[in-house]
Chain A
């Protein structure tokens, strides 16, 4: 059951309206974007109001020469990329749900990331400034419009992975990168056992992969994406094929759409996002009862779809391996825990929640079982 049943929706279109929406209401609020990750993390407790951010759209300023862009947080990242592309620039970020219309703010709040995180990191590495609205209507700006800046605490980091429970992202400033001139992907049929060793060989050589993922479809494949200049890329691809042997072959770029499909998961299972030391991933995955899986063998991020009854055990196994896990999509009403055993800094997390949202208005339940009710 969704915590938003019977709630009222407000759809502000500018920063002031966001603040007014927070000040003019009293009870708990769910912050919503495009709805591509509406059920991620803990189950939402009932709320009175849904604060719909999809009216906060558009580029505020794009400085092509500085390679920065400021955008309203409800803008779909896909739309932003389209707007940037004539300048040969983009946000180096490829989470699966970007194609479904996920908003910039929603992607930051869920700490999502795709295969490109191997080189560019997640949005925590690409966001250089934010404007946020807190539960008491405070409007706070952190960071700025320059890529290098250490003045003050980095408020963007507080909101990255906050799942709508700490504040509303109203505006986001991002660092941009040039769109690579050329890109190619090589695939190697390869079961999970053995994938780690292959990945280590690629990472240990001068190949500079832009993405390195193992996927469970077609009996298991290792995907290596290379990006670079048009003249020089073919030679680097050739070296990778030589390293991996005769079974390695170029593959059409749509493998990444299939990869994204696996990350999204299907309606039947429960999707768990996992982070662990990269070399431990193959062994860890071998102990989980997944139906489909993708594993970033250089980045340590994996996404698996499990039968519903395997989730609790999976949280535990990931924790034992020193990793982190968070539940994503699952069947309605599955009643599964969003999080595994508590993280060591739970006291800090709770104290931050208490400082920023003392009445527990935003996203109640998102951090259950870690934080229950008002912090």
Chain B
């Protein structure tokens, strides 16, 4: 215990003393997020009940230079909510009110602990819904979604969290309360809201969020199609895009991912097929029907071996159950796994999948793929057995896959964030001046460096004195981008 009694009493004054948790057993429940390989038991866990208490708690942190980490549901996959030694965790789990649903302006005002799906549930009676739909939507919080700029299967057409959040009330790291953004997309000055979105809990704690709601589309059409190869399935995606169609979702799964999902939920996918595509269109009925016919025709043209069209809401739900279960279901075919989240330009999907398969073979490990094919966001699942001593090899392969995505002109992360997990890989994607500029942005919000320190940007402490040297980006080598 290094946080002394004075600090603890200050927290107890700022909050109800019962909401300051210091017993080690209870604190242990907060030692990690969804990336369970990293664990740190926090000194204290604070459970504020409203924004004023969050601000009061942060003011105590600021006064005593205590680092703090905000936490939603703890489903993050990059170690963003990993506690900091000698620091406190501030849980937003009790800020759970839906404050307003406005069907005319199509927006909702919610507290950060409200889950993603609860927003849609509150909006549904008005024929509205909240569009970004991470697979974890039943449990993850909107506060966590804001921090990670989370995506979901339907983000291809509708955009990511940042495109759906109008404003955030934020407790800054000095304890002051401000609003970033406004009631419309118009803002006075730089898009501070947009800077905060996706900042992974490093610029402050959001205590109230205004989100846009969309009208439930008139028509939704969903199909599941099997293909003899990943390349054929990838070609379908290209042709759909080339036809000027913007599907609501295009998801791909490979043999291993299908095997896992089928074992878990029996959603009716074909065992053994090399690749399956889920394509969903939505919009006004007549337009949706025309484009759905085009998509079916494109599937057939590329040698589709089975075309299953959801004939009812239940059948559609089954298709999505299979897709959304794939992640967690991998646990059924492998004792342990790492998940990666790199992005490649969509036109390089077949190439990257080929390379990943080769790398897996070389490492003697299996890799299952389930991903957002429409936007090139991969989720390679590296399967391994810790008991068999494969951890290090798997970790290495997993990191190499993320860096491969950068080499192919993409990104380290499409939606899970950099967090603790990939901070040391950042120099593979960004040069020193890029990172230094990002440090300056961070410092504008958090000059004292107490807000989720050690995440996102590489530090010597985290990555060694010489963080991985920058190598020219592939696009730089190709003369597409310049650096001086």
Contact = CB atoms under 8 A, between A and B. Distances in A.
Q: Which of B105, B148, B184, B218 neighbours the largest number of chain A CB atoms within 10 Å of its CB?
A: B184
Interface string B140-161: 0000000011010001000110
A258 interface: no
B283 interface: yes
B345 A63 contact: yes
Interface string A181-207: 100000000000000000010011011
Contacts of B122: none
B447 A15 contact: no
A149 B414 CA distance: 4
A130 B220 CA distance: 36
Contacts of A131: 481-482
Contacts of A233: 287
B195 A153 contact: yes
A57 interface: no
B218 A206 contact: yes
A228 B290 CA distance: 11
A314 interface: no
Contacts of A122: 185
Contact of B184 (A147, A150, A153, A277): A277
B241 interface: yes
B361 interface: no
Contact of A146 (B410, B434, B440): B410
A289 B405 CA distance: 55
A235 B286 contact: yes
B194 A324 contact: no
A210 B107 CA distance: 18
B415 A150 contact: yes
Given A203-B215, A323-B182, A160 B190 contact: yes
Interface residues of B, number: 100
Contact of A151 (B411, B431, B445): B411
A66 interface: yes
Interface in A87-146: 88, 111, 113, 117, 121-122, 124-125, 131-132, 134, 138-142, 144-146
B254 to A, nearest CB: 20
B4 to A, nearest CB: 30
B188 A326 contact: yes
A110 B395 CA distance: 44
B344 interface: yes
B372 interface: yes
Contacts of A138: 433, 436-437
B418 A151 contact: yes
Given A125-B163, A160-B190, A65 B426 contact: no
B190 A141 contact: no
B186 A355 contact: no
B218 A155 contact: no
B246 interface: yes
A343 B189 contact: yes
A275 B189 contact: no
Contacts of A151: 411-413, 418, 422, 426, 429-430
Interface in A254-276: 273-276
B158 to A, nearest CB: 10
A70 interface: yes
B186 A273 contact: yes
Nearest to B161: A150
Contact of B163 (A121, A149, A274): A121
Interface stretch (B172-180, B224-232, B317-325): B172-180
Nearest to B202: A153
Interface string B324-353: 000000000000000000011111000000
A144 B192 CA distance: 19
Q: How large is the interface on A (under 10, 10 to 19, 20 to 34, 35 or more residues)?
A: 35 or more
B409 interface: yes
A324 B187 contact: yes
Contacts of B149: 150
Contacts of B444: 348, 351-352, 354-356
B138 interface: no
Contacts of A232: 284, 286-287, 289-290
A155 B441 contact: yes
B6 interface: no
A24 interface: no
A19 interface: yes
B475 interface: yes
Contacts of B447: 351
Contacts of B160: 148
A65 B346 contact: yes
Given A146-B376, A148-B415, A300-B186, A348 B410 contact: no
Contacts of A208: 215, 283-284
Nearest to A239: B284
Nearest to A274: B186
Given A111-B187, A352-B441, A60 B481 contact: yes
A28 interface: no
B480 interface: yes
A340 B291 CA distance: 47
A117 B242 CA distance: 24
A171 interface: yes
A26 to B, nearest CB: 20
A274 B149 CA distance: 27
Given A124-B191, A151-B418, A232-B287, A301 B434 contact: no
A335 interface: no
B189 A228 contact: no
A278 interface: yes
B104 A279 contact: yes
Interface in B189-203: 189-195, 197-199
A110 B106 CA distance: 26
Contacts of B410: 144-146, 149
A273 B286 CA distance: 37
Contact of B445 (A88, A301, A325, A351): A351
11 contacts: A63-B345, A66-B346, A67-B241, A124-B191, A125-B163, A149-B411, A204-B103, A232-B290, A274-B186, A278-B105, A323-B182
Interface of B: 102-107, 127, 148-149, 151, 155, 159-160, 162-163, 170, 172, 176, 178-180, 182-195, 197-199, 215, 217-218, 238, 241-242, 244-246, 283-287, 289-291, 343-347, 372, 375-377, 409-418, 422, 426, 429-431, 433-438, 440-445, 447, 456-457, 475, 480-484
What 4 pairs between A and B have smallest CB-CB spacing? A275-B186, A300-B184, A157-B194, A140-B437
